[in-house]
Structures are given as structure tokens and as C-alpha cells.
Chains A and B, each alone.
Chain A
Amino acid sequence: MKTCPTTWSRHRIPLLCVIALATLMAACAATPLPPSESLAAATNAIASAEQAGARHYAGAELEEARSQLVLAEQAVTEEAMIEAERLAHQSRVAAELALARTESAKAVEINREMERGADALDVEMRRQGEQK
């Protein structure tokens, strides 16, 4: 924060100083902070998806999430914080989609496996039935 220059306050009334300070503060507020919360959320979502096996089951979605995060970080360095925040959000939903598609792909696999098991059981039962 800037302090009020003393050379000004000596001869002028303090009101001018207050106005100057308010103007400077307003200027400060116009430059937004990096969207660290959104970036962290995206990073976490990507980690969760990876942990669930998204690399194998939803590679394209995971890649999309990663590239959105890279763009978000790039935007931060360019101080385009609004864009950075949007990109971070996009990265997060892309990672969430990667996770959701990973889970459903796994569920498909498990069900297919169970069906095979059930078929094998049917065959076994038929065989037993024939024996009898």
C-alpha cells in the first residue's frame, strides 16, 4: 500500500490525501488476484481422475483437463485472471468428466465380466443337467 506523500500534506488539506489514497486503492483492486482456489480444485480433480485410472479409460478427457490447466496457468502469468479462472473451471469439469467416464467404463467391464461368469455357470448347470 502506498502512503500519503508528506510533501503534499504539509500545505494542502488532508481531504486531498484521502482522495488520492482512495484512487490508488481502487487501482489496486482492479488488478485481480490469481484464482488459486479454482486452480487447486482443477489440480485435485485431475489427480483424482488419474488415481481412478483415467489415463487408461478416459485418456482424451484427462488430456483435455490437463491442457485447460496449462492454459489457465499461462493466463495467470499474463495476469488475465478472469480468463485464468474460467480455464481453471473448465479444467476441473473436464477432469470430473474424465473421472465419471472412467467409472462408467469400469462398470461396463465389471458387468461384462459378471455376464461371462453367469454364462459359464449356465453352461456348467446345463452340463450337470445333462449328466443327470
Chain B
Amino acid sequence: MKTVSLLKTRSGGKLVPTIVLSSILLGACAASPTTPQAALDVREKLTELQSDPEMANNARNELRSAEEAVRIAEQPLGSGQADLADYRIYMADHMVEIARAKGTTRLLETERTRMGEQRDAARLTARTLEADRAQADAETARSSEAAAAALSAAAAADLQRRIDDLEAEATERGLVLTLGDVLFATGSAEIQGGSNRNLEKLVGFLNEYPDRNVVIEGHTDNVGSAQFNQTLSLQRAESVRRHLSDHGVERRRLTVNGYGLERPVASNESEAGRQQNRRVEVIIEN
């Protein structure tokens, strides 16, 4: 820290004749009163601050007080009043430094406000960016949702086409596909000809939708004993299961039941009705 308390005032004595004259006239008085050099130094510092427009603006009152103190310090004093001179310079110097410090503080505070505003602006930009991005994300999500919906709609349409193709009937148990008795010879459980268009379509469908399980039910007409018909119906259902598993459908997806003559769909009185009753129903579960 700068202190001027230790600085000594310099005796003037620029003009020798003055000193001589003074000596003669005043005798005891040692030197003529002069402005201490240190006061001039303080004045220089003060002038520097005053000429800085930002300082002048930010420390107006402090600079005014310092000006007053410097003016007092500049008052010429005799060498006998060195202590008073030191005191005045100390005060003036400190007040100039106080003005400088306060001006600096206020300048920094002004800057802070500006920085705060800048930061707010930056934050706002960031937030806007973020919001834009969020909106873009939401739009992407929406469009992908729409795409998914479209896809599932397409898939559903495809499924419907396949179901239509299978000529299956949609019931509450699932899709029911009825394989007629033409598949089997009378009294036999073997599938005729080894192949059938309806079975082929069923295999294709089940391989395309691997998460769907199937119940295969055998039914007969009322010709013959109930026991015979039950066994025959089960064997025919088993035949269909074997055919499906031979063509790549997992066995665990396939359940078989033989109902014999228990569940006719038509009258057994006529040949046409009995033919309708001899059937294997494949239920594709939902």
C-alpha cells in the first residue's frame, strides 16, 4: 500500500534571492511556504482518474471529496508544518485511492449486469434450441408412430388377406378353418394324395405367424359306434398335426382333440349333412 505519511516535504528555495530576502526580512522564518511535492503527485493521480470517463461517472462523489482533500494538501505550508503537510497528503492520497477502488467496484458491477444480460440471452438461445429440438423429436416420434401404425395397418390388411385366402371363419375362439372329408378316405385317417391346397395355405400361414397356436379338432358323422368315431376323429386330427409338423410347424403349437360324433354341424339324416359333419376343424387362436 502506498502511504505518503513518511514522505517529507521538500523545502522550496527555487529562488535564491527570495530566500536571501526572506532571511533578511523574516529572520527566524526558515523558508517560504510551498506546495509539497507529494501533494503534486497525488494531484497527478487524481487528474488521471478524473480524466477517465468511466471513473468520473462511477465515482463522482468520491472524486469530489478527493478533489477537496487534494486542494487542502496543495495549500502551501512552511517547513515548520511538515507534520500537517504529511497529514493532509495522507488523507488526500487515501481518498484518491478510495475513489479509484469504488469506481472500479461499480465498473465491475455494471459489467456484471451486462454479463448477466448476455448470459440470460445465451440461456434463452440454449432453451430455444432445446425446445426446437424437443419439438423436432416429438415430430419424429409422431411420424414414426404413424409409420408404425401404417405398418401395423398394412400387416393387419395382409393378415386379413391371408385369412380370407384360407377361407377361415373368424369366431370368438379364433379363426376356424374347416377341412372337409374329401381329405380322407372313408374309415381312414390317412390324408389322401399327401397334399392339399388348403393344408398348404395353412402351413404357409402358420409359418408366417409363428406366435399363433392351433387346436386341431376331429369330427365324424353318426355312422358306426361312438367309440369308433371318437378314435377315428382323434386319428384324423393327429394326421393333420403330423402333416403340419412335417412341414415346419412346431409340435408344441399344435393341440389335438377327437370329438367323434358329439358335435355335428348339420343333420346326420341326409348324406349332405353327414358329409358336412365329417370334418377336421383347425382353430387358429387369436
Contacts and interface: CB of A to CB of B under 8 A. Distances in A.
Contacts of B98: 93, 96-97, 100
A108 B104 CA distance: 9
Most chain A Cβ neighbours within 10 Å, of B91, B108, B119, B133: B108
Interface string A96-125: 110011011001101100110110011011
Interface in B1-21: 1, 3, 5
B122 A125 contact: yes
B169 interface: no
In which size bucket is the chain B interface? 20 to 34
A117 B3 CA distance: 38
A90 B87 contact: yes
Contacts of A86: 83-84, 87
B101 A97 contact: yes
B112 A107 contact: yes
Interface of B: 1, 3, 5, 83-84, 87, 90-91, 94-95, 97-98, 101-102, 104-105, 108-109, 111-112, 115-116, 118-119, 122-123, 125-126, 129-130, 133
Contacts of B115: 111, 114-115, 118
Contacts, number: 82
Most chain B Cβ neighbours within 10 Å, of A90, A122, A128: A90
A115 B105 CA distance: 16
A14 B199 CA distance: 154
Chain B interface SS verdict (over half): helix
B97 A97 contact: yes
Contacts of B122: 118, 121-122, 125
List 5 A-B pairs, minimum CB-CB distance, nearest first. A100-B101, A107-B108, A93-B94, A104-B105, A86-B87
Contact of B112 (A64, A101, A110, A122): A110
A81 B58 CA distance: 37
Given A89-B87, A97-B98, A129-B129, 9 more contacts: A93-B95, A97-B1, A100-B101, A111-B111, A111-B115, A114-B119, A115-B115, A118-B118, A125-B125
Interface of A: 60-61, 64, 83, 86, 89-90, 93-94, 96-97, 100-101, 103-104, 107-108, 110-111, 114-115, 117-118, 121-122, 124-125, 128-129, 132
A61 B101 CA distance: 12
Nearest to B96: A97
A114 B123 CA distance: 13
Nearest to A132: B133
B134 to A, nearest CB: 11
Contact of A100 (B102, B109, B111): B102
Contacts of A108: 108
A104 B99 CA distance: 11
Contacts of A96: 94, 98
B105 A103 contact: yes
B5 to A, nearest CB: 7
A51 to B, nearest CB: 17
A107 B105 CA distance: 6
A90 B118 CA distance: 42
Nearest to A61: B1
B126 A128 contact: yes
A14 to B, nearest CB: 41
A128 B129 CA distance: 8
Contacts of B101: 97, 100-101, 103-104
A127 B133 CA distance: 13
